Structure 1
Amino acid sequence: MQFSLEGRIVGVSLLTVLVATSTPFILLQLGLEPELAWSGGLLLAVPVVLALLRPLTASLNRAIAALESGLLNFRDGDFSISLAIQRRDEMGRVSQLYNEVVEILRRERAHIYQRELLLDTVIQSSPQALLLLDQSERIIYSNTSARHLLNNGKPIQGMHLEQILPYCPPELAGAIERREDGLFSYSGDEGAVTQHVGNSYFVLNAHRHRLVVIREMTRELTRAEVQVWKKVIRLISHELNNSLAPISSMAHSGKMLAQQPAKSGALEKVFDTIAERCQHLTEFTQGYARFAKLPAPSCEKVQWRQLIDQLSPLQQFTLEGELPARPGYFDPVQIEQALLNLFKNAGEAGSDNTELRIIADRQGQQLVVRDRGCGMSEKVLQQALLPFYSTKAGGMGLGLALCREIVDAHGGNIQMHNREGGGLQIRLWLPWPDKQA
């Protein structure tokens, strides 16, 4: 049976009192003076106390030192050390609890490590490029797709963002640097490439971080275009049937009425109905023909003021900033049509005012259209450039698709993203001819 720490201290105290009180009586029996007898009892009690407390304090000090060492390991994140203290007192129970906590933390760390390993494996194998930046725009994490996209597969962790942007396409670099969310198209080694860039922000360890997600949209857009073409074929078939069936029926009725001279008034109505259906069918097919038969651009030098003067009577807008001194170079008819489509979309989105800003520099010429309409949802933004995709009742979905075709034919690109405070911004970028670049 082992006493508790408190019991042993009480036992030592009682034994010390017994020695201190019994020793003077023994010395008095031996004939010593009372003062000497009591002094001798006290002097003898001191070494007795020290001799009895020494084993107790030594074992207690060893247990406390072991516990202190274990807590220091806790502070350093090391949970591999357990205490080998075999005691049945309070320190023994504390040591047992310490070992149980160590085991729990060890299992939790192993579990967290396995989950982190699984999460890292999933992120590294993701086709989306992910970049985690700290508040100083330094890369603290990236996956394999991001390294291949931005630095030819070489490590980029620890590098500053401005160090890797020159190695990626200029359109993508500009979108990342401007922290814009939206679709961005450019010409790559394998043809036209469309990507979606998203930015999100969060606070980690009291520091603001930025997560950049770059999603390849080219294949998805291709698959979506196939679905859209199927939808268009069904739509055209439906529209043709709705027009040809009445025309066929009315033609048969007209043939019967032609044999009855008294029914000339009814025959005239038949011809009017046939003409109306033919006119509707002509307007329907001409809308698609304009998109399918877009001619190659006939580029020439264009004075910006001349373009503004031609657009102003057709659509209300506000010119933002000064016009560049250097004239533009593009097909004025096609670019005018593209801008009118954008102005029309802005008005249909509920924008009271549409802004046009024109920038010409050494890299190219930009026409930026900004509105304060309802903007676009993430899903609509990803499909807005598809031909025949429309969220408007009765819309043909050709406006933005025609703009993309015009810009692509000029060798440029189109970028779209929602504005802070509501609205949409669309940037048309056109290159200079090689001899002027």
Structure 2
Amino acid sequence: MTLRAKLVLAAMTASSGGLLLLLLFILLEVPDLVNLMGYTALGLIVATCLLVSWSLAIYFTRNLANSLTALEVGLLNFKDNDFSVNIPVTGDKQLQALADLFNESAAILRKERQYIYQRELLLDKVIQSSPNIMLLFDDEQRIIYANDAARHAFNHGNRIEGCLLPDLLTSQPEELVNALNNPKGGLFTSAGQEGAEDETWHLSRGRFMLNGQYHHLLLLKQMTRELNRQEVAVWKKVIRIISHELNNSVAPIASMVKSGRKITASIDDPKLALIFDTIEDRTQHLSQFIFNYARFAKLPLPKKAAVDWQKLTEQLRQHYQFSIEGELPQSQGYFDLIQMEQVLLNLLKNAHESGSDVSDISLSVQATQLDEQQSGVLIVIADAGSGMSSEVLAQALLPFYSTKQTGTGLGLPLCREILEAHDGHISLHNRQPKGLEVRLWLPD
């Protein structure tokens, strides 16, 4: 029975009781009333009184019923997470105050929900755009949530929600599988593809309760470039210190050689001239040596501009001969021309010194798409020389490592430094049956 029905019944019960008491009192005072009026008249009076009391009860409770019904509907909408409903403000002051309070609560909840929704959108955008791999799974190792980086790492960009983590690891490197199966986090190294350097990752884990069930969070962060950056920064600092000290010694020696030649100009002694020539030659060699290292240590930030591929290849051909594989892109490249020309000249020089025939040295440029978000150009320089052993491939991009007797070990590291400053990368690959292929990737 509804509240309104109970109020109407209570009103009619009270009216009936009062009417019966009134009739009883009248009958005690006027015993002949029934004979005078008759039972029919008395029945009509009682029925009329009951009808009037019922009508008045219905009339005075009409706003209460409407307000309670509206409040009930509004609360049901709240239960369904729908805060868009407002109830009408009607009835007496108490009902109006209750309706106002409900509407104010609905407005606050709408505002809070909109704020939470926008914050969730922002958080999801940040997570999806993050290069770090994020996986959320339950105690049964079933994936509940994965960001875009995780989908590309484990399933070629396809959805992995609902999959089991062990099933996703079947095609992954052994080092990654061992790290994920280890209950502890930390750094681990995964072997790169042929010609690519090993990749260093940092694994962190988290465990928390959500909806009465434990969930596990995995975060994988690529640390290779950051570690390389720190390593190169240390090398650059060492080079700057050594270059400064050597320059402080070389400059006075060169000055003293000139002074010595002037002082001994009248002495015709071949041995003395040989001594001066040797000192001067070695100081010049040392100065050039210092200059090469200082160039690596003081590499400026790239000044990117539009570059025509046809003009660039023509400029390169003025120094080294090569053939162009395929068609050059119609669209222009966007990079620091001076720095990239230095990279390409260095790689073409290495190709010519590899023992390859000039006719087997080639260069190709093609547009490529790494994934849905990264597009750019792939530059490939190939030769048919002796190639590199696996040991040399693993260390060729490290500073000061060289297989040449007179090499400084800075050519390929300088190329890598320039490519990474352009947000690109470089990799070395042996060709079959012989030769080396250098791949350069630059973003648009």
Q: TM-score, normalised by structure 1?
A: 0.47
Instruction: Kindly indicate whether structure 1 or structure 2 has the higher relative contact order, using CA contacts under 8 Å at least 6 residues apart.
Output: 1
Q: TM-score, normalised by structure 2?
A: 0.46
